[in-house]
């Protein structure tokens, strides 16, 4: 009962001070295997009459462990990330992808073994979830169906590559924050399962449609999952293969720059370049 009380308090605290309203949407996702499942997505609305421009936030991944993925939850409207965009008059949509939180269905984002990964495989399913959430939110009253900005961090950021290559209707701005998979091989900071394949698959994911969207690729100087050198190599391969990505290196942050996006004070660092990118792609 004490735990339930604490969770209820945290839920209320997460909604406090947002000044707008929120709801949880049910999103239907058609998987690449033909399955059809639903995922939740929290929609946070800013104050004012609207309609509001939409910013879609996509979480990372702890890897293949079901117990760790089960601890993921919907981004609260009172979180620092949401509170960065809401005062700008922008609505925030945060989907929880298949295989995370209370979902007990199959996890579709696996890249295989660390020794022989396919970083371009499961990420297509990441993009399916995000695409479905965007399409669902475009039909909600008070949300502008055009000018949608999409941001992903870590595994969610890696999912921005196929999304930029074949963008959903209404999307104009895409940001990948510390994108990648396979970091911390054998729990060793700075070691990727197969950095050569990460770079190769960044190129493979660059073009899937007729006209890819511009993509802002954010890296941090002290990211222990994807070093600046690896991030630069991956982005360069992506751009050389036809992806319209631009690399932006942020200064070192805290103990590990990989935690910047959701970390305390993070919006003060990533806010200016992300806001400028979104504003430049209305």
Which pLDDT score is estimated for 4?
A: 29
In terms of phi and psi (left: phi > 0; alpha: psi -120 to 50; beta: otherwise), the region of 118 is beta
Cβ contacts of 191-194, under 8 Å, gap ≥ 24: 192/225, 192/226, 192/230, 193/114, 193/115, 193/117, 194/114, 194/115, 194/116, 194/117, 194/119
pTM, entire model: 0.93
> The domain that contains 115 carries what CATH number?
3.40.50.1820
Total domains in the chain come to 1
Q: What is the pLDDT of residue 207?
A: 82
Q: How far apart are CA 78 and CA 215, in angstroms?
A: 27
Q: What pLDDT does 1 receive? A: 28
18 pLDDT band (50/70/90 cuts)?
Answer: low
pLDDT in tens, 49-105: 889 999 999 999 998 789 999 999 999 999 999 999 999 999 999 999 999 999 999
| pLDDT, average across residues 9-29 | 69
pLDDT digits (tens, 9 = 90+) for 208-266: 777 899 999 999 999 999 999 999 999 999 999 999 999 999 999 999 999 999 999 99
Longest CA span, the chain: 56
Q: What is the mean pLDDT of the chain?
A: 92
pLDDT of residue 174: 98
Share of the chain above pLDDT 70, in %: 93
Q: Range of 252's domain?
A: 2-280
pLDDT for position 7: 33
């Amino acid at each position: 009962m004490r735990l339930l009380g604490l969770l209820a308090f945290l839920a209320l605290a997460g909604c406090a001070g947002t000044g707008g309203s929120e709801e949880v949407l049910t999103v239907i996702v058609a998987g690449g295997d033909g399955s059809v499942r639903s995922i939740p997505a929290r929609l946070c609305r800013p104050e004012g009459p609207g309609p509001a421009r939409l910013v879609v936030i996509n979480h990372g991944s702890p890897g293949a462990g079901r117990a760790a993925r089960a601890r993921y939850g919907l981004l609260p409207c009172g979180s620092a990330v949401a509170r960065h965009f809401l005062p700008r008059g922008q609505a925030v949509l945060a989907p929880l992808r298949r295989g995370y939180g209370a979902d007990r269905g199959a996890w579709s984002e696996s890249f295989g073994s660390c020794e022989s990964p396919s970083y371009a495989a499961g990420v297509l399913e990441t993009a399916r979830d995000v695409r479905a959430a965007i399409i669902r939110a475009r039909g909600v009253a008070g949300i502008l169906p055009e000018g949608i900005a999409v941001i992903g961090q870590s595994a969610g950021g890696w999912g921005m590559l196929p999304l930029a290559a074949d963008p959903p209707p209404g999307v104009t701005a895409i940001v990948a924050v510390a994108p990648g998979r396979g970091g911390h091989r054998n729990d060793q900071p700075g070691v990727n399962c197969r950095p050569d394949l990460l770079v190769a698959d960044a190129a493979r994911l660059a073009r899937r449609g007729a006209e890819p969207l511009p993509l802002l690729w954010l890296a941090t100087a002290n990211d222990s999952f994807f070093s600046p050198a690896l991030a630069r190599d991956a982005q360069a391969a992506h751009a050389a293969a036809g992806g319209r990505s631009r690399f932006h290196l942020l200064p070192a942050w805290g103990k590990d720059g990989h935690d910047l996006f959701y970390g305390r004070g993070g919006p003060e660092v990533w806010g200016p370049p992300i806001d400028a990118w979104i504003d430049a792609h209305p």
